[in-house]
A and B are shown apart, each in its own frame.
Chain A
Amino acid sequence: MIELRVDDRLVHGQVVLLWTKHLDTDGIIVANDKAGTDEIQQMTLKMAVPSGTNILIRTVSEAEKLLKDPRIEKMNILVLVNCIEDAYNICENNNIDRVNIANSGRFDGSSVKEKKKLFSTVYVNQTEEKYLEKLLKIHNNVVHQISPDDAVERIGGK
């Protein structure tokens, strides 16, 4: 099962302590162009996961290739991106079981005042809103669920 999570903080407490346990994750793939090329960020992301948890850090396009590997498709994988645009690009090219837009648009350096609030932890600017619309057209299992204990809120669809 491949779960894709949109989270502005990528790897953080909620993800490593709650979600990896809940999804019985075999590995985390961080798909982010900055992290994929920034050595310091790669080191800190790797440090943030508990020992024994596999983590791969790739640019978005590298992650797309990696997710096509048949061995990966059989595992429980949590893919982390930090914006809806990256989520859309991955979904366009890969089979993703569920997309969870959990935390987005609050800590990207621009004010939330100019953005549309979709949930308490999800804000979208015009570009992100456009990508969300596109994402909903190609994927019918897009949800918002911050922690595993929260109820699943479906986005779009029937």
Chain B
Amino acid sequence: MNKILILSHGELAKGIESSLDIFSVNKEKIEFFSAYTDDTDPMIQIDASVQEHIQEGNVIILTDLFGGSLTRFCLEKYHDNERVHIISGYNLALVMSLAMEKEAISQEKIEESIKQAQDDMKYVRLGGK
């Protein structure tokens, strides 16, 4: 079973949670962390969750900005743990695709999901692809 942690600067993660509700996506294996909304160190809660779920399987951490502090802190903490996968710059398409994944996540699966999600970001024009 994969656990997905969705991290954000401010309430973006909470917004993703609301969007998943609209699509009736099962959120049982997803946790949401809106960081820096108060003076607590977000890594304390995030790490507690990682440590809890790492026993049972893979943990996928989604961060909102590649160059943000959350990405960096997670990478520093979990770079040598092969059960923790970090993906930055998530969008709704990526979250939904990972949430629907029933099998234990693999590097290949992650890369495939990212590719599909990246394809969702487009300059949308009539007749364009």
What residues make up the interface of A, taking CB atoms closer than 8 Å to B? 9, 11-13, 16-17, 40-41, 44-45, 47-50, 106-107, 109, 112, 123
- Chain A CB within 8 A of B68 CB: yes
Contact A109 B41 (CB under 8 A): yes
Q: How far is the CA of A16 from the CA of B69 in the complex (A)?
A: 10
The one of B39, B41, B43, B76 in contact with A44, judged by C-beta atoms closer than 8 angstroms, is B76
Q: How far is the CA of A43 from the CA of B68 in the complex (A)?
A: 14
Q: How far is the CA of A15 from the CA of B68 in the complex (A)?
A: 9
The one of B9, B39, B43, B75 in contact with A47, judged by C-beta atoms closer than 8 angstroms, is B75
Q: Which B residues are CB-close (under 8 A) to A12?
A: 67-69, 72
Interface centre among B9, B68, B71 (most CB of A within 10 A): B68
- Chain A CB within 8 A of B117 CB: no
Contact A13 B39 (CB under 8 A): no
Contact B67 A44 (CB under 8 A): no
Q: Which B residues are CB-close (under 8 A) to A13?
A: 9, 65, 67-69
